[in-house]
C-alpha cells in the first residue's frame, strides 16, 4: 500500500501542471500569440473644467497619498526688456527661494520641510510654472504655504544678492564647456544674437535688474487671467474646486500675455568654427526647420527617425558610431517650435582628426535620404516604434494633464492625438523622400564646430592609410570656413579685431 504524503501529492500536482503547461507552450517564441492591446488616448474635455474663467484640469487618483498642483502662466524670456534679459528667470527663482511677505525665506523653507512638501517655480522661454507636491494628509497646510509663495512672494533682498552673485559666477564659467558654447553660438547663427529666441543674460542686464522690476513682472504675469491650473493625485474633485476657489478670492485678474513673435532672422549658410583647446570636436550641422503643427510635421518626424532620431536604429548613428567608429554620440533632431520655425540639427562629437570624415559621412546620409527612397522594412520599423510607444505620453495622470495644459496654451488641434497614429501609419516612402528634399538642403545648412581648429582643419591625413577615407575640412562645403571668436563670457561681445 502506497502512503500519500504531502510531498508526494505536491510532486504529482507539479508534474501534472508541468505536463499540461508543456502542451500549451509554443515550439518557438515567434509562435506566441498575444492579445491585441487597444488604446485610445484620453480626451481633454474629460479632465477640463473652468473656475471663474480659469481653465482647470483635474485627474483624481488614489494610487498614492500624494497631490500635485501645477499653476502655469504665459511668462517667459520673450517678455524680458532688451536691457534686462534674465528678468523672468530670476523672478521665478527668487519667488521660490525669497520667502513670502509674511514668512522669511528660512521660515518658509522650514515649514515646507516639516510638511515634506516640495515646491518649485521656473520661468522659461515662454511659459512659467509653479508646482506643489505634497502628502494628502498635509494638503491644506502645504497648499496655504504654496499660495502665499505664488501670490505674495517676499523677494528677500539678501537672497536676491546671493542669486545675482551665483548667476554672475555661472556666467564667468560659460566658456568652459564647449557644448554650451556650441549651443549658444548655434542659436545666435540661426535666430539672431538679439532675438528672444537666442539672447542670453549678460553682466550688465543682470546688474540692472531690481527687486521692483521683479515685483512688476510678477504682478503683470503671475495672475489668474494668465493662468491654467492642473491637479493630479489623491483628492476629491468637488473639494479641490472649492479649495482653489477660496485660494483665488481677491486676486486681481489681469490679461493674458502675448505669445512670442515669429522669428524672421535669415542666417547665412557655411562652415563656422570657434577655437577651443579640448580633446574632441563638437559639431552641429543644420538649418531652420518647421513649426510644430505644420502639416508635414508627422512625415518629418518619421523621416528624421530614419535619418538620425531613433538611436541605434537610425542611419547616422549606425554609420558614424557603429560602422565607422568616428563618434560615441551622433544623431539628428528637428526641434520644432510653436510660434516660429524651429531647426534641424545633426550632431556628433568626434576625436579631432576625424571631425572632417564624420562630417562628410553625415552629409552623405542626408543626401542619401533625399536621393533614394527608403526601404519598406526600415520605414515600417520606425513607424511601428512611434505608434507602439505612443501610449507612454499618457501613462500617468500628471503626464496626461501636462499634455493637455501644453496643448491649450499652444492652441493645438483638439483632434491631434486621436489621429496621430493613423497619420504616422499613413506615411509612405514617397512622403519621406518628399519632406527630406523639402526640409533638408545641405547647400543651405550651417556647420558649426567647437574645438582645436588648426588640428581639425587638416583632418586625418596623417593617420588614415585608406586614401578614400582621407578628408580635410577643405573638402567640406567648398572649403571655406569663418571663425567666430570666443565671446567675453560676461558681456557676450566679440573681441575687437586688429
* Residue 32 pLDDT level (bands cut at 50, 70, 90): confident
Is 378 inside a domain boundary? yes
Q: For residue 1, give the C-alpha cell.
A: 500500500
Task: Give the chain's radius of gyration (CA, Å).
Answer: 28
* Distance in angstroms (rounded) separating the CA atoms of residues 324 and 363: 14
Asked whether residue 188 falls in the same domain as residue 293, the answer is no
For position 463, what pLDDT does the model report? 87
Q: How many CB atoms lie within 10 A of CB 407?
A: 15
Residues 159-213: tens digit of each pLDDT:
999 999 999 999 999 999 999 999 999 999 999 999 999 999 999 999 999 999 9
Residue 35 resides in a domain: no
Whether residues 226 and 190 share a domain: the answer is yes
Question: Using an 8 Å Cβ cutoff, are 329 and 283 in contact?
Answer: no
Exposure of 316 by Cβ count < 10 A (0-12 exposed, 13-18 middle, 19+ buried)? buried
Is the pLDDT reported for residue 10 higher than 60? no
Here the cell at position 14 is: 507539479
Q: What is the arithmetic mean of pLDDT over 427-438?
A: 98
* Helix ranges restricted to H, 64-193: 87-97, 105-114, 139-151, 157-172, 178-191
Over the stretch 217-229, which tens digit does the pLDDT of each residue have? 999 999 999 999 9
**In sequence order, which residues have a C-beta less than 8 Å from that of residue 171 and are 6 or more positions away?**
201, 202, 203, 206, 489, 490
Is the residue at 263 inside a domain?
no
Residue range 89-112: average pLDDT? 98
Domains: count for the chain: 2
Give the span between the Cα atoms of 311 and 392, in whole angstroms.
18
Residue 323 lies in a domain: yes
Of all residues in the chain, the percent with pLDDT exceeding 90 is: 89
Do residues 287 and 241 both lie within one domain?
no
Query: Under DSSP, is residue 29 helix (H, G, I), strand (E, B) or coil?
Result: helix
> Is 354 domain-assigned?
yes
The grid cell for 448 is 558649426
The whole-chain average pLDDT of the chain stands at 94
- Domain containing 50: what range? 45-248
pLDDT at position 36: 75
27: confidence class by pLDDT, cuts 50, 70, 90: confident
What's the rounded Cα separation, in Å, for the pair 184 and 175?
Answer: 10
pLDDT digits (tens, 9 = 90+) for 114-128: 999 999 999 999 999
Burial profile 360-371: b = 16 or more Cβ within 10 angstroms, e = fewer: bbbbebbeebbe
Q: Do residues 383 and 428 both lie within one domain?
A: yes
Identify the pLDDT of residue 2: 47
Averaged pLDDT for residues 247-263 = 94
Q: Is 222 within a domain?
A: yes
Say if 281 falls within a structural domain: yes
Burial of 174 (C-beta count, 10 Å sphere; 0-12/13-18/19+): middle
Q: What is the dihedral of CA 30, 394, 237, 257, to 10 degrees?
A: -170
pLDDT for the residue numbered 21: 55
Do 50 and 94 reside in the same domain of the chain? yes
Residues 326 and 244 in one domain: no
Q: Are residues 299 and 229 in the same domain?
A: no
- Using a 10 angstrom Cβ sphere, with 0-12 exposed, 13-18 middle and 19 or more buried, the burial of residue 175 is middle
Are 318 and 181 in the same domain? Answer: no
Q: What CATH code is carried by the domain that includes residue 144?
A: 3.30.830.10
**Claim to verify: residue 220 and residue 361 sit in the same structural domain:** no
Do 288 and 159 lie in one domain? The reply is: no
Residues 55 and 178 reside in one and the same domain? yes
* Domain assignment present for 492: no
- Name which of 427, 434, 442, 462 is nearest 352 in CA terms: 462
* Range 242-257 average pLDDT: 96
Q: Looking at the DSSP assignment, which residues form a beta bridge with residue 362?
A: none
Amino acid at each position: 500500500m502506497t502512503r500519500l504524503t504531502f510531498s508526494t501529492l505536491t510532486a504529482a500536482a507539479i508534474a501534472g501542471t508541468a505536463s499540461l503547461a508543456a502542451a500549451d507552450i509554443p515550439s518557438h517564441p515567434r509562435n506566441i500569440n498575444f492579445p491585441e492591446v487597444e488604446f485610445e488616448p484620453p480626451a481633454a474635455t474629460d479632465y477640463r473644467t473652468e473656475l471663474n474663467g480659469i481653465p482647470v484640469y483635474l485627474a483624481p487618483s488614489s494610487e498614492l497619498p500624494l497631490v500635485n498642483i501645477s499653476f502655469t502662466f504665459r511668462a517667459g524670456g520673450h517678455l524680458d526688456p532688451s536691457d534686462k534679459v534674465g528678468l523672468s528667470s530670476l523672478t521665478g527663482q527668487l519667488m521660490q527661494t525669497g520667502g513670502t511677505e509674511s514668512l522669511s525665506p528660512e521660515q518658509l523653507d522650514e515649514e515646507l520641510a516639516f510638511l515634506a512638501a516640495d515646491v518649485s517655480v521656473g520661468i522659461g522661454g515662454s511659459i512659467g510654472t509653479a508646482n506643489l507636491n505634497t502628502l494628502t494628509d498635509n494638503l491644506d497646510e502645504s497648499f496655504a504655504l504654496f499660495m502665499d509663495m505664488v501670490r505674495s512672494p517676499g523677494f528677500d533682498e539678501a537672497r536676491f544678492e546671493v542669486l545675482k552673485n551665483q548667476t554672475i559666477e555661472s556666467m564667468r564659467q560659460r566658456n568652459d564647456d564647449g557644448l554650451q558654447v556650441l549651443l549658444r553660438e548655434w542659436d545666435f547663427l540661426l535666430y539672431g544674437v538679439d532675438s528672444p529666441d537666442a539672447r542670453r543674460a549678460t553682466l550688465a542686464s543682470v546688474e540692472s535688474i531690481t527687486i521692483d522690476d521683479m515685483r512688476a513682472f510678477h504682478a503683470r504675469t503671475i495672475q489668474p487671467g494668465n493662468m491654467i491650473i492642473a491637479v493630479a493625485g489623491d483628492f476629491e474633485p468637488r473639494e479641490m474646486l472649492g479649495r482653489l476657489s477660496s485660494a483665488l478670492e481677491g486676486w486681481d485678474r489681469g490679461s493674458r500675455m502675448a505669445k512670442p513673435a515669429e522669428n524672421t532672422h535669415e542666417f547665412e549658410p557655411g562652415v563656422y568654427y570657434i577655437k577651443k583647446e579640448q580633446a574632441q570636436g563638437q559639431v552641429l550641422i543644420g538649418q531652420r526647420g518647421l513649426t510644430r503643427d505644420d502639416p508635414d510635421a508627422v512625415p518629418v518626424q518619421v523621416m528624421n527617425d530614419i535619418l538620425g532620431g531613433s538611436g541605434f536604429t537610425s542611419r547616422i548613428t549606425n554609420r558614424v558610431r557603429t560602422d565607422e567608429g568616428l563618434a560615441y554620440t551622433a544623431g539628428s533632431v528637428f526641434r520644432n517650435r510653436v510660434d516660429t520655425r524651429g531647426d534641424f540639427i545633426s550632431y556628433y562629437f568626434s576625436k579631432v582628426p576625424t571631425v572632417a570624415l564624420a562630417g562628410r559621412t553625415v552629409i552623405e546620409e542626408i543626401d542619401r535620404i533625399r536621393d533614394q527612397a527608403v526601404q519598406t522594412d526600415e520605414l515600417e520599423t520606425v513607424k511601428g516604434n512611434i505608434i507602439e510607444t505612443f501610449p507612454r505620453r499618457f501613462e500617468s495622470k500628471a503626464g496626461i494633464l501636462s499634455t493637455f495644459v501644453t496643448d491649450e496654451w499652444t492652441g493645438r488641434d483638439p483632434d491631434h492625438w486621436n489621429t496621430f497614429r493613423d497619420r504616422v501609419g499613413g506615411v509612405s516612402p514617397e512622403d519621406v523622400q518628399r519632406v527630406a528634399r523639402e526640409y533638408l538642403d545641405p547647400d543651405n545648412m550651417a556647420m558649426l564646430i567647437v574645438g582645436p581648429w588648426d588640428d581639425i582643419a587638416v583632418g586625418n591625413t596623417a593617420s588614415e592609410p585608406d586614401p578614400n577615407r582621407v578628408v580635410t575640412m577643405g573638402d567640406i562645403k567648398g572649403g571655406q570656413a569663418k571663425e567666430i571668436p570666443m565671446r567675453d563670457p560676461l558681456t557676450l561681445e566679440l573681441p575687437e579685431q586688429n
